[in-house]
Amino acid sequence: MVKTLKKYKWPYLFICPYFILFLCFQLVPTVWTGVISFAEWDGLRQLKWVGLSNYAMMLKDYMFVDALRNTALYWVATAVGVLLCSMLIANMLHSKKLGAKRFFKTVTFLPYVCASVAMGLIFKMLFEENAGLINEIILSLGGQRIPWLTSSRWDRIPVIILHVWRLTPWYTLIVLSGLLNISPEYYEAATVDGANAFQQFFSITLPMLGNILFFCFVTVTVDSWKIFNESYVLAGPGSSNMSLFQLLYTSAFSTFKMGYASALGVVLILILLLISVVQFMVRRKQGEI
SS3 288: coil
Amino acid at residue number 184: P
Helix (H) or strand (E) holding 40: strand 39-40
User: What is the tally of structural domains in the chain?
Assistant: 1
Domain assignment present for residue 251? The answer is yes
Q: Nearest CA to 112 among 178, 176, 165, 76?
A: 165
Structural domain of residue 213, as residue ranges? 56-117+157-285
Closest among 180, 203, 181 to 191, alpha carbons compared: 203
Nearest to 244 by CA among 272, 218, 282: 272
The residue that leads in pLDDT, 198 or 288, is 198
The predicted structure's pLDDT at residue 82: 96
Higher pLDDT, 118 or 286: 118
pTM over 0.75: yes
Q: Who's near 124: CB < 8 A, 6+ residues apart?
A: 149, 158, 233, 234
Higher pLDDT, 55 or 45: 55
Q: Are 125 and 105 in contact (CB under 8 A)?
A: no
Q: What 3-state class would DSSP assign to 39?
A: strand
pLDDT above 80: residue 6: no
* 17 domain residue, yes or no: no
According to the model, what pLDDT value does residue 241 have?
A: 92
Decide if 86 is inside a domain.
yes
* The predicted structure's pLDDT at residue 282: 85
Q: Is residue 260 part of a domain?
A: yes
CATH at 205: 1.10.3720.10
Percent of the chain with pLDDT over 70: 98
252 Cβ neighbours under 8 A, 6+ residues apart: 258, 261, 262
Mean pLDDT, the chain, integer: 90
Instruction: Give residues with Cβ within 8 angstroms of 251, minimum separation 6.
Output: 257, 260, 261, 264
Using CA atoms in the order 18, 23, 26, 30, what is the torsion angle rounded to 10 degrees?
160
Give the model's pLDDT for residue 288.
61
What was the pLDDT predicted at 1?
Answer: 64
Q: Give the C-alpha separation, 236 to 148, whole Å.
A: 8
Question: Is residue 135 domain-resident?
Answer: no
The reply to whether 102 falls in a domain is: yes
Per the domain annotation, does 252 fall within a domain? yes
pLDDT digits (tens, 9 = 90+) for 46-104: 889 998 999 999 989 999 999 999 999 999 999 999 999 999 999 888 888 887 778 88
Residue 287, pLDDT score: 67
What is residue 8's predicted lDDT score, i.e. its pLDDT? Answer: 77
Q: How many CA atoms lie within 13 A of 56 on its CB side?
A: 6
What is the reported pLDDT for 52?
92
